[in-house]
Amino acid sequence: MTTDESPARKLATTVLAGDVRAAARLMRDLDDRRPSALDTLKQLFPHTGKAYLVGVTGNPGAGKSTVVDALIAHYRAAGEKVGVVCVDPTSPFSGGAILGDRIRMQRHALDPGVFIRSLATRGHLGGLSRSTFDVAHVLDAMGFERILIETVGVGQDEVDVMKAAHTTVVVTVPGLGDDIQAIKSGLLEVADVLVVNKSDREGADRTERDLMHMLDLRAHGERKEVEIVRTIATKGTAEGSGIAELATAVEAHRARIWQGPAAADRALARAQAHLGELVRALLADRASRAMEARGGLGEIARGIAERRTDPWTIAEQLVGAL
């Protein structure tokens, strides 16, 4: 860390003072991987560690954005400052229709107690998870006590991104087909709280029973405690049916996991996971540079395409030379 009055330090001071435009600029610079932005992040780090991160994920069409919207209203009504990170790993190139929901949520942006930041994958391996951690740290340092991380896709990205959360909420709805049930079985593993949203729909009882059954199936001896909450989230209100119960379930998980005797160990594991992400990301950068530096990469690729050599041998040589 630099201790002089460097630009990084000045920007950190501005962000800590609550300047949202400076914060937005910093997040953009972090996304662009500017070294100066990283220096600022290092300056902010000692001021982090106070926020509680809640991840919200689940099946497409389950109403995640609506649940997040209702949770924002709930936490705001309780006087908490709320940061939101919307992660969209499904649109590597374009924003797409997702913006609709996001724009509706943006009305909260008029509230200085709410800060919303959208992230889309930039094509980097593990990049989304890193960006999520970065943004969450900035929001944490700024005093946002509650940070909601919403992800849209379903897959390994989801699981990686959710590593940043203290409590992960998985949202589903009644009446999804078999194929979608299957997807849920992957998400189920990361769930600390399960939500059956749109629970006024037919089949809510069955969905809840199915979820219970899946949780039982998964338990090999020890069964992770996962609460199931029914909601009928309504955009823009804290009174969406079940939202208060959902918030209570999140707090119950928090008390159990992050305030109990094992909390310190978990905090260590979390720090270690974050460090692992960063190391992998730095190595990926280095590999990209190493390959760019070898202007002869086109020639190497030609040798592979023509089967004169094989890619595994070349990869070993490139990495060995680092």
Residues 112-131 that bind a copy of itself (CB under 8 A): 121, 123, 125-126, 128
Contact range with a copy of itself by CB under 8 A, out of 43-51, 195-203, 230-238, 243-251:
43-51
DSSP annotation string for 57-77? EE-TTS-HHHHHHHHHHHHHH
**Residue type at 181 in one-letter notation:** Q
Q: Which two tokens stand for residue 185?
A: 């079985």
Tokens at 145, concatenated: 């006590």
Structure tokens at 292: 């760019």
Q: Is 162 in the site for a copy of itself (CB under 8 A)?
A: no
Least gap, CB of 201 to a copy of itself (angstroms): 13
* Phi, psi for 3 (deg, rounded to 5): -115, -10
Is position 109 an interface residue for a copy of itself (rule: CB under 8 A)?
A: no
Q: Is 78 in the site for a copy of itself (CB under 8 A)?
A: no
What is the nearest approach in angstroms of a copy of itself to the Cβ of residue 202? 17
Q: How far apart are CA 46 and CA 62, in angstroms?
A: 37
Judged by CB under 8 A, the stretch of 19-27, 75-83, 164-172, 294-302 that binds a copy of itself is 294-302
User: How far is Cα 69 from Cα 56, in angstroms, rounded to an integer?
Assistant: 11
Should residue 175 be labelled a site residue for a copy of itself when binding is judged by CB under 8 A?
A: no
In the bound state with a copy of itself, the residue whose beta carbon lies nearer, of 17 and 312, is 312
Provide the CB-side half-sphere exposure for 2 (13 A, CA): 16
Q: Which stretch binds a copy of itself (CB under 8 A): 9-17, 74-82, 142-150, 170-178?
A: 170-178
Q: Which residues ranging from 211 to 270 are in contact with a copy of itself (CB under 8 A)?
A: 218, 264, 267-270
Cβ closer to a copy of itself: 21 or 94?
A: 94
Burial 151-180 (b: 16+ CB within 10 A, else e): bbbbeebbbbbbbbbbbbbbbbbbebeeeb
Which of the ranges 71-79, 89-97, 195-203, 249-257 carries the binding residues for a copy of itself, by CB under 8 A?
89-97
Binding positions for a copy of itself, 8-37, rule CB under 8 A:
none
Q: Smallest gap, in angstroms, from Cβ of residue 248 to a copy of itself?
A: 27
| 38 vs 228 by CB, closer to a copy of itself | 38
Determine, following the binding rule CB under 8 A, whether residue 69 of this chain makes contact with a copy of itself.
Answer: no
Assess contact for 30 and 126: CB atoms under 8 A: no
Residue 151: C-alpha distances to residues 120, 169, 205 (Å)? 10, 11, 26
Stretch that binds a copy of itself, among 110-118, 142-150, 199-207, 299-307 (CB under 8 A): 299-307
| Segment near a copy of itself (CB under 8 A); pick from 42-50, 76-84, 103-111, 231-239 | 42-50
| The residue to which tokens 């330090």 are assigned | 9
Which is nearer to a copy of itself, 79 or 292 (by Cβ)? 292
Cβ atoms of residues 105 and 84 within 8 Å: yes
